[in-house]
Homo-oligomer: A and B are copies of this chain.
Amino acid sequence: MRRMASPPQTARSERTREALRRAAMVRFLAQGVEETSAEQIAADAGVSLRTFYRHFGSKHDLLFADYDAGLQWFRRALASRPPGESLVDSVQAAIFAFPYDVEAVTQIASLRSEELDPSRIVRHMREVQSDFAHAVRDHLQRRTSDAAEKTLPITVTARCVAAAVFAGMEVWMQSEERTLADLAELCRTALTSIEDGLPIH
């Protein structure tokens, strides 16, 4: 189902994707996400159901398109952070390198929290988090000289960072006012808590 976000090969396919995105948003806003079938979206966009699934692995992928895009930025931003910087700072900076469309983000965030099938969203969120962790791990491996021997610690570290960021994000998604500043603040708090050492003793 997942990881098949076909890169915009040609102009034609990009047009199709856009049509699907639009059609989906209209339906989602008008009648709700769970009440919209993939078939309706495809029909509205004037393509076959199969084509819909070629562009978006699932109906819910449409809601996470911005996360996926953000992830690409994140990877690149992370790679271009100065070598000496602490991991937490790098991550913090890289997360907000993406030019978020606050309107869109909060609109979708509101959609998500409504009558959306929670398990679907949560599942998808975990998937995004996993990708995020991979990005962090790649970054760590790049920065570590003896990376080969430290596979496990590096993986663990990456996943902990991801866990922190997404824990912050979840709190944010459930909060009243969803501003980017709040999100940054929450992520920083979460990351700081692992930087200062976890209360595990």
Mark interface residues in A140-183 (1 if CB within 8 Å of B CB, else 0).
10001000001111111101111110011001000000000000
Mark interface residues in A186-200 (1 if CB within 8 Å of B CB, else 0).
100110011101111
Residue A88, interface by CB 8 Å:
yes
Contact yes or no, B127 A123, CB < 8 A = yes
Bound state CA distance, A88 and B197, in angstroms? 13
Contact yes or no, B156 A163, CB < 8 A = yes
Contact yes or no, A119 B3, CB < 8 A = yes
How many chain A residues sit at the interface, stated as a range, is 35 or more
Contact yes or no, A153 B199, CB < 8 A = yes
When distances are taken between beta carbons in the complex, the residues of chain B under 8 Å from A163 are 156, 159-160, 162-163
Contact of A167 among B126, B156, B164, B201 (CB under 8 A): B156
Most chain B CB within a 10 A radius of its CB, from A86, A144, A159: A159
Residue A16, interface by CB 8 Å:
no
Bound state CA distance, A127 and B164, in angstroms? 17
Contact yes or no, B197 A161, CB < 8 A = no
Most chain B CB within a 10 A radius of its CB, from A152, A156, A159, A201: A156
CB nearest neighbor in B for A197 = B197
Question: What would 17 A/B residue contacts be, using CB atoms closer than 8 Å?
Answer: A87-B199, A87-B201, A126-B130, A140-B199, A151-B171, A152-B167, A152-B193, A153-B190, A153-B193, A155-B167, A156-B167, A156-B198, A157-B198, A159-B163, A160-B163, A195-B200, A197-B197
